[in-house]
Amino acid sequence: MKVDYLGRLQQARRIVVKVGTSTLTHASGKLNLNRMEQLVRQLADLQNQGKEVVLVTSGAVGAGLGRLGLNERPSSIIERQAMAAIGQGLLMQVYEKLFSEYGPIVAQVLLTRNDISDRKRYLNARNTILALLQYRAIPIINENDTVATEELKIGENDALSALVAGLIEADLLILLSDVDGLFTADPRKDHSATLIPVVVEIDQHIRAMAGGAGSSWGTGGMVTKIEAAQMATAAGTSMVLMNGNEPSRIQRIFNGEPVGTAFLSSHNVVSSRKRWIAYGPQVNGAVVVDAGAERALLRQGKSLLPSGISELHGEFEEGDMIQVVNSEGMELGRGLTNYGMEHLQKIMGKKSIEIEMILGFKTADEVIHRDNLVITALN
């Protein structure tokens, strides 16, 4: 199917650009200043064209490693936090110097999982970034690796950039990586692999093309990039995955030329609140549902009732985010539960009319109301 997508990308006004560690640093781990200068020039020029630009950057840990003359990324989170503390200041110092040569004002924004999980802080982050854009500043965003513990980390900056794109309703997300785009197979292993120029819908076939982790300096792989594309396109943001070794190629997107792989935004855009439900709060547990409940959720848009639940996993309280999975372990969706683990153990498999008799109270007929449930299962 031929899709005329280049014009859509060309017209994007609010743009999030994510740059990975492998793009920002040499093999030694030290910052690649020449490439950073090219990137900054491109982003400054986009702003000169009247576009709003947000930069999501990796590289703090890598910059810290390079500053200390270390050759390997430390395995412990405490050591990585120390590297980030050293490197984040260096990274911003370089960005500030480079951007100042071309005019744009920059602002540092550091986020943690708590900033995304809490609805009020999530909205506050959105308002802050939008205010910066009104001032014609370029927000430079990174996860606050210095204080984020492993269980509270957002994860890859691919995911962070997709969250930010959805947060501010960006038109386009550009992922700069060490790959040219999505291929039919791993081009490092299969020389017959061909680049896929455009993806209209992310399904199981597209996900199956994702390989393992990328370079030794980066932390992401193609899997995280597909997940970022799924998050972004569901929020109404198109995404381009392209190689970051020549940042000047960014301008080709806005010249209407094909670059890398474009993932087109979904026609069924998820609301802001449901995007937050799907990707914001930390998942604290899971419920396993039977085939009948699976059909009701996926095909009929129903709420999750206690009668359809067969198993519980993890520890969770009322109001927590939990996964809904089928008997084969495939995630069907995520939602905010009306009942905690202790109470749900007593009412799972039971009808809603029995809840009050069993518990002595009833918060709701549904374990997860459809308004608080987001279906994440792919076709």
Q: Give 354's DSSP letter.
A: G
Q: How far apart are CA 302 and CA 122, in angstroms?
A: 27
Q: Residue 294 corresponds to which amino acid?
A: E
Is 223 annotated in a binding site? The answer is: yes
- CA distances for 329 relative to 320, 324, 378, angstroms: 20, 9, 14
Question: 145-153, long-range: CB within 8 Å, 24+ apart, which pairs?
Answer: 145/60, 145/61, 145/80, 145/81, 145/84, 145/88, 146/81, 146/84, 146/85, 146/88, 147/81, 147/112, 148/81, 148/112, 148/113, 149/77, 150/77, 151/282, 152/112, 152/113, 152/114, 152/282, 153/112, 153/113
> Taking Cα atoms as reference points, which of 129, 113, 114 lies closest to residue 56?
129
Walk across the sheet containing 321-325 and list its strands: 309-314, 283-289, 321-325, 331-336, 373-375
Is 221 annotated in a binding site? The answer is: yes
- Residue 310 φ/ψ, nearest 5 degrees: -110, -25
> Taking Cα atoms as reference points, which of 301, 307, 357 lies closest to residue 332?
301
Q: How far apart are CA 24 and CA 33, in angstroms?
A: 8
Is 61 annotated in a binding site? The answer is: no
Is 222 annotated in a binding site? The answer is: yes
- The shares of helix, strand and coil residues in the chain, as percent rounded to the nearest 5, are 40, 20, 35
Instruction: Report the Cα 286 to chain-centroid distance in Å.
Output: 21
By the 10 Å C-beta count (0-12 exposed, 13-18 middle, 19+ buried), 319 is classed as middle
Q: Is 320 helix (H, G, I), strand (E, B) or coil?
A: coil
* Residue 103 in tokens: 């005019």
Is 225 annotated in a binding site? The answer is: yes
* Residue 14 in tokens: 């609010």
Is 36 annotated in a binding site? The answer is: no
Is 25 annotated in a binding site? The answer is: no
Q: How far apart are CA 335 and CA 322, in angstroms?
A: 6
- CA distances for 201 relative to 175, 205, 260, angstroms: 18, 10, 16
* Residue 336 in tokens: 């905010």
List residues forming the annotated binding site.
18, 58, 145, 157, 177-178, 219-225
List residues forming the annotated binding site for substrate.
58, 145, 157
List residues forming the annotated binding site for ATP.
18, 177-178, 219-225
